[in-house]
């Protein structure tokens, strides 16, 4: 059976992510083995990879680097072999060149860009950007297939104070409106990431996860 | 556009829901996981569990409830009650909670908020504040169900915990809790306007207009209620439709949004 590996590097929400993937696979009748692991041999056998993450950029990056061989294994599978990868929240942010949360931290460098504080034009807007918001696609993407987007579309669950600003405009897949545009999805080729949490986004989330499990970039 | 959130809260004691929940077709109204699934299906924006009799001995019961809920519900879950240590927070997050609320431990040691936020990220640290107007006319923090005055100014405290890294404040109007007379709007607005982080208004909801007032007049980002949903007075869809009709951006339940 095809295997999807959720990368375990000490991030807190693995359980929720794994359960949402199992539920999406069941609901959409996709045969897949969901494995939580940080072992290079599991990544080698995986068809798809998920990089979750909650907390601070630097803590997450340090957590990932603390596992011997993990960074190299991810680089091999994602960049050299081109396996589909989905980054979630800080897992997505880690794909950037740099994180500028508190101090500058180097990211995985897969997507050119920096992770910066969100700066809503309306000073009354709260930070973190927390709760349900709609998303606006910038062009088409397979992960949004069949999902109603836009102002009257489905909502995604966000909770973050920082977002990725990709250097190349074409790497920006979708945005949300929060006193101006904030990054909701980024990626290119076999790489995609969501700032929101698909595992907490009910209908939109489960549909997006199913799209990822069927994605052949 | 970001939507206002409607959050049902379940009081849990020894792994069972206190008071029960009045839902049709619920097999076991005392099972928090069954109740959570019903609220998930009904379109609640988040869910809150409050462990009202948390002790070191019965802690594992709550971990199990949280774990089983996270397996069945794909919505954000906040868990509070008796959270005193970094280890408590870690265990709740590992069980599947998305956010953990800290109450008395934040009052006795502000640095605990900082340590927790640095360890797990501001996004999952909620500071729960129980406040009411004191005899001196200021908003003060009370403990022990509103009986004990602490002398701590609620607005100053909210500012302080926000600067220490709390990601959200859950504010309970202690003078209104259980009365069904609505939030203390002056208190809610004073706190919501004083901090940059979102505030959840709690305590006193008796009508759907109270929910509107919490957002519109109290400037809260979310409203929390227990009794009106548990006793079946109103359901989540009715509450959201009412708030939307009052002009508040809501994630509506109809059309599976």
pTM: predicted TM-score of the whole model, two decimal places: 0.94
Q: What is the pLDDT of residues A120-177, one digit of tens each?
A: 999 999 999 999 999 999 989 999 999 999 999 999 999 999 999 999 999 999 999 9
Task: Report the residue from B4, B74, B221 with minimal CB separation from A20.
Answer: B74
Q: Which residues of chain B have a CB within 8 Å of the CB of A206?
A: 74
Give a three-class secondary structure readout of chain A: CCEEEEECCCCCCHHHHHHHHHHHHHHCCCCCEEEEECCHHHHHHCCEEEECCCCCHHHHHHHHHCCCCHHHHHHHHHHHCCCCEEEECHHHHCCEEEECCCCCEECCCCEEEEEEECCCCCCCCCCCEEEEEECEECCCCHHHCCCCCCCCCCEEEEEECEEEEECCHHHEEEEEECCCEEEEEEEECCEEEECCCHHHCHHHHHHHHHHHHHCCC
**ipTM strictly over 0.90?**
yes
Task: Report the residue from B71, B123, B196 with minimal CB separation from A19.
Answer: B71
Contact yes or no for B224/B236 (Cβ under 8 A) = no
Is A89 tagged catalytic?
yes
A55 to B121: CB separation less than 8 angstroms, yes or no: yes
Judged by average pLDDT, the poorest of A25-34, A132-141, A181-190, B63-72 is: B63-72
Determine the distance in angstroms separating the CA of A132 from the nearest CA of chain B, rounded to an integer.
6
A147 contact partners, CB below 8 Å, separation of at least 6: A153, A154, A204, A207, A208, A211
Task: Report the residue from B1, B90, B95 with minimal CB separation from A177.
Answer: B1
pLDDT of residue B56: 72
Judged by average pLDDT, the poorest of A24-38, B16-30, B47-61 is: B16-30
Task: Report the residue from A160, A178, A199 with minimal CB separation from B2.
Answer: A178
Q: What is the pLDDT of residues B106-152, one digit of tens each?
A: 999 999 999 999 888 889 999 999 999 887 779 999 987 777 889 99
Region B209-228: mean pLDDT is 96
pLDDT-derived band at B20 (thresholds 50, 70, 90) equals low
pLDDT of residue B255: 42
Q: What is the pLDDT of residues B74-96, one digit of tens each?
A: 899 999 998 999 999 989 988 88
Mean pLDDT of chain A: 95
Which residues make beta-bridge pairs with B172? B130, B202
B96 to A15: CB separation less than 8 angstroms, yes or no: yes
A131 to B71: CB separation less than 8 angstroms, yes or no: no
pLDDT of residue B24: 57
CB of A156 within 8 Å of any CB in chain B?
no
Determine the distance in angstroms separating the CA of A60 from the nearest CA of chain B, rounded to an integer.
10
B94 to A159: CB separation less than 8 angstroms, yes or no: no
Is A163 tagged catalytic?
no
A13 to B257: CB separation less than 8 angstroms, yes or no: no
pLDDT-derived band at B257 (thresholds 50, 70, 90) equals very low
More confident residue, B96 or A181: A181
Q: Say yes or no to pLDDT of A193 above 90.
A: yes
Q: Cα A68 to chain center, whole Å?
A: 22
pLDDT of residue B128: 97
**B97: closest chain A residue by CA:** A13
Q: What single-letter DSSP state applies at residue B4?
A: P
Q: Which residues of chain A have a CB within 8 Å of the CB of B256?
A: 154, 203
A203 to B124: CB separation less than 8 angstroms, yes or no: no
pLDDT of residue B23: 59
Q: Which of A146, A152, A169, A159 is nearest to A196 (CA)?
A: A159
């Amino acid at each position: 059976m095809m295997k999807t590996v959720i990368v375990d590097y000490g991030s807190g929400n693995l359980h929720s992510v794994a359960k949402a993937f199992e539920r999406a696979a069941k609901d959409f009748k996709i045969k897949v083995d969901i494995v939580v692991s940080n072992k290079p041999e599991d990544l080698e056998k995986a068809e798809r990879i998920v990089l979750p993450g909650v907390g601070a950029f630097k803590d997450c990056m340090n957590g990932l680097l603390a596992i011997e061989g993990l960074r190299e294994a991810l680089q091999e599978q994602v960049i050299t072999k081109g396996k589909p990868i989905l980054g979630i929240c800080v897992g997505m942010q880690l794909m950037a060149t740099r994180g500028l949360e508190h101090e500058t931290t180097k990211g995985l460098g897969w997507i050119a860009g920096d992770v910066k504080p969100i700066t809503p034009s309306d000073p009354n807007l709260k930070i973190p950007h927390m709760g349900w918001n709609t998303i606006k696609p910038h062009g088409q993407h397979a992960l949004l297939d069949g999902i109603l987007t836009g102002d009257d579309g489905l909502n995604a669950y966000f909770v973050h104070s920082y977002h990725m600003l990709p250097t190349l405009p074409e790497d920006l897949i979708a945005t949300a409106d929060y006193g101006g545009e904030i990054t909701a999805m980024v990626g290119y080729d076999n790489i995609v990431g969501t700032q929101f949490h698909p595992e907490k986004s009910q209908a939109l989330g489960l549909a997006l996860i199913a799209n990822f499990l069927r994605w052949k970039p | 556009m970001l939507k206002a959130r409607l959050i049902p809260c379940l009081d849990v004691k020894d792994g069972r829901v206190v008071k029960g929940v009045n839902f049709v077709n619920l097999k076991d109204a005392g099972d928090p996981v069954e109740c959570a699934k019903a609220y998930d299906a009904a379109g609640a924006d988040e869910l809150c569990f409050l462990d009202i009799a948390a002790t070191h001995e019965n802690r594992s019961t709550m971990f199990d409830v949280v774990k089983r809920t996270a397996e069945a519900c794909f919505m954000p879950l906040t868990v509070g009650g008796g959270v005193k240590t970094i280890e408590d927070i870690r265990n709740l997050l590992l069980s599947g909670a998305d956010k953990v609320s800290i109450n008395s431990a934040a009052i006795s040691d502000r640095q605990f908020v900082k340590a927790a936020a640095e360890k797990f990220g501001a996004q999952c640290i909620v500071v729960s504040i129980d406040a009411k107007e004191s005899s001196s006319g200021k908003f003060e923090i009370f403990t022990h169900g509103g009986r004990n005055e602490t002398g701590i100014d609620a607005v100053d405290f909210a500012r302080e915990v926000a600067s220490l890294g709390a990601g959200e404040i859950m504010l309970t109007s202690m003078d209104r809790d259980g009365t069904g007379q609505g939030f203390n709007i002056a208190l809610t607005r004073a706190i919501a306007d004083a901090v940059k982080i979102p505030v959840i208004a709690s305590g006193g909801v008796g009508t759907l207009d109270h929910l509107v007032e919490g957002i519109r007049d109290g400037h809260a980002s979310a409203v929390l209620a227990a009794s009106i949903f548990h006793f079946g007075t109103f359901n989540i869809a009715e509450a959201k439709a009412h708030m939307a009709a009052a002009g508040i951006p809501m994630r509506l339940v109809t059309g599976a949004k």
